[in-house]
A and B are shown apart, each in its own frame.
Chain A
Amino acid sequence: MRRRVILIGLLMLLVGLTIWITNLEWIKEGVYKPFTWGDIMSATISHLEMVVIAELIAISIGVPLGILVTRPGLRRLATPVVGGVGVGQTIPSLAVIAIMAPLLGFGLNSAIVALFIYGLLPIVRNSYAGINNIDSAIVEAARGMGMTRGQIARKIELPLALPVIMTGIRISTVITVGTAELAVLVGGKGLGLITLTGVFSMQPLTILQGAAPTAALAITLGFILERIENSMTSRGLKVKAAMA
Chain B
Amino acid sequence: MLGAWEYLVKHPEKLAGWALEHLWIILVAITIAIILGVIVGIYITGRGKEHMADTVLYLAEIMMTVPSLALFGLLMLLLTSVGLKAIGFLPAVIALIIYGQLPILRNTYMAIRGVDPAMIEAGKGMGMTERQLLVKVKLPLAVPVIMAGLRNAIVIIIGIAAIAALIGAGGLGAPIFRGLRNARMDLIILGGVSVSILALLVDAFMNQVERWVTPEGLKRR
Contact = CB atoms under 8 A, between A and B. Distances in A.
A contacts B directly in the complex (CB < 8 Å)?
yes
Interface of A: 2-3, 6-7, 10, 14, 87, 89-96, 98-99, 101-102, 106, 174, 177-179, 181-182, 185-186, 192, 195-196, 198-199, 202, 204-205, 207-208, 210-212, 214-215, 218-219, 222
Given A3-B54, A95-B176, A98-B180, A208 B189 contact: no
Interface stretch (B32-40, B41-49, B141-149, B193-201): B193-201
B69 A87 contact: no
B70 to A, nearest CB: 3
A182 B65 contact: no
Given A101-B185, A102-B189, A207 B76 contact: yes
A94 B69 contact: no
B162 interface: yes
A87 B177 CA distance: 23
Contact of B203 (A90, A174, A202): A90
Given A102-B188, A181-B69, A222-B65, A92 B162 contact: yes
B67 interface: yes
Interface string B57-100: 01100100111111011101100100000110000000000000
Given A92-B158, A178-B68, 11 more contacts: A2-B55, A6-B59, A92-B162, A92-B199, A95-B192, A95-B196, A98-B191, A185-B180, A207-B72, A208-B77, A219-B62
A204 B59 contact: no
A3 B59 CA distance: 9
A43 to B, nearest CB: 14
A182 B199 CA distance: 19
B74 A208 contact: yes
Contacts of A92: 158-159, 162-163, 195-196, 199
Contacts of A199: 69, 72, 166-167
A95 B173 CA distance: 9
Contact of A218 (B66, B74, B159, B185): B66
Contacts of A95: 159, 162, 176, 191-193, 195-196
Contacts of A219: 62, 65-66
Instruction: Tell me the interface secondary structure of chain B in the complex.
Output: helix
Given A2-B54, A185-B180, A211 B69 contact: yes
A4 to B, nearest CB: 10
A188 B200 CA distance: 27
A34 to B, nearest CB: 16
Contacts of B69: 178, 181-182, 192, 195, 199, 207, 210-211, 214
Given A94-B163, A95-B195, A101-B180, A208 B62 contact: no
Interface residues of B, number: 44
A204 B80 contact: yes
Contacts of A196: 166
Which of A3, A95, A102 lies at the interface centre, i.e. has the most chain B CB atoms within 10 A of its CB? A95
Given A198-B73, A219-B62, A204 B86 contact: yes
Contact of A91 (B51, B87, B163, B196): B196
19 contacts: A90-B155, A90-B199, A90-B203, A91-B200, A92-B159, A94-B163, A95-B162, A98-B176, A99-B192, A101-B180, A102-B185, A178-B67, A178-B69, A181-B69, A195-B73, A204-B73, A211-B67, A211-B73, A214-B70
